[in-house]
Amino acid sequence: MTIRTLVVDDEPLARRRIRRLLKDHEDVEVVAEAASGDEAVAAALEHRPNLVFLDVRMPGGDGLAVLRELRSKLSEELRPLAVFTTAFEEHAVEAFELAGIDYLVKPVERSQIDRALRRVRKVLWQRHRVGPGTAAPDAPSAPPAGDGRAVLAQPTVAGGPGGVGFIAAHRAGKILQLDLSEVACLVLEDGIAWAYTPSGRYRLRHGLGNVEERLACPPFFRVSRSAIVNLGWVNHLAPMFSGTFCATLKDPVQMEVHVSRRRARELRKLLGW
């Protein structure tokens, strides 16, 4: 598959650098350039790229405004994926929340381009395999095990509504993208939302309600007011008291998450037991 690419930056040298770095990738074709927000929107509507390298701060509308406008004018399957490029880091979280695939800090290096394109290829492959408008696959059902616990099979991991399999998070003063397949659960603790992964926990900018809107169900399922679980990371469910359950997560996360009685009923219907 050829990745039709639009390069947007108000600095000619920056556009030239990105084009030069993209030449190493045979599946990438730069179909147009733009030097302002207005030009970027016009070029995207004319050339319909799969991907846009988008500077955040530009005349005629910044990169975030460009992406918002494209989201309002193009259907989900026609919207280009966005890789933001900028010398400033303060817009990274908003960029990720607008379905940015990656956020490259200038001067852009070859390793950054390579990383971003790996992510782009993964998302485009998922879109091509699943197809626009295809519902997420049903979670597999599993009968209760002999000890009363339900052992869960691995469901297919999917991205959010835009097909993007990442969420933004903070740790050690850095803004990072977490691959959703690595997120075992999201938990609200003392008013702060955290994402738990094999490499530790990461702080989220918003509450669980905002994050939940970007997650596909399955594999993600809201088990209580304070927790969302990735079913692919659940080792087993154990019945507790008054119709509640305890979800035990796989190694190396090794957490137990409470499943409320109301959500337990919905989870049982989802799993078919």
> Can you give the three-state secondary structure of the chain, one letter per residue?
CCEEEEEECCCHHHHHHHHHHHCCCCCEEEEEEECCHHHHHHHHHHHCCCEEEEECCCCCCCHHHHHHHHHHHCCHHHCCEEEEEECCCCCHHHHHHCCEEEEEECCCCHHHHHHHHHHHHHHHHHHHHHCCCCCCCCCCCCCECCCCCEECCCCCCCCCCCCCCEEEEEECCEEEEEEHHHCCEEEEECCEEEEEECCEEEECCCCHHHHHCCCCCCCEEEEECCEEEEHHHEEEEEECCCCCEEEEECCCCCCEEEECHHHHHHHHHHHCC
On whether the CB atoms of residues 232 and 154 are closer than 8 A, the answer is yes
CA distance 245 to 197: 22
Q: Record the pTM.
A: 0.53
* pLDDT score of 92: 54
Query: Which residues of the chain are in CATH 2.40.50.1020 domains?
Result: 150-271
CA distance 208 to 192: 9
Count of positions (residues) in the chain: 273
The region, left, alpha or beta by phi > 0 then psi within -120 to 50, assigned to residue 224 is: beta
Is the CATH number of domain 150-271 2.40.50.1020? Answer: yes
Alpha carbon 262 to its chain's center: 28
* pLDDT score of 133: 43
* pLDDT score of 212: 84
CA distance 4 to 257: 43
CA distance 24 to 66: 27
Block residue for tokens 């295809």: 134
Q: What is the CATH number of domain 3-130?
A: 3.40.50.2300
Query: Which residues of the chain are in CATH 3.40.50.2300 domains?
Result: 3-130
* pLDDT score of 183: 92
Q: What is the pLDDT along the chain (273 residues), one digit of tens a residue?
A: 789 999 999 999 999 999 999 998 989 999 999 999 999 999 999 999 999 999 888 876 677 888 889 888 988 888 899 898 877 655 555 555 555 677 788 888 888 898 888 888 888 877 765 554 443 333 333 333 334 444 443 333 334 433 447 788 888 777 788 888 889 999 988 788 899 998 888 988 778 888 887 788 778 999 998 999 998 888 888 887 777 888 889 888 888 888 888 888 888 777 765
Buried b (16+ CB within 10 A) or exposed e, 132-169: eeeebeebeeeeeeeeebbebeebbbbbbebbbbbbbb
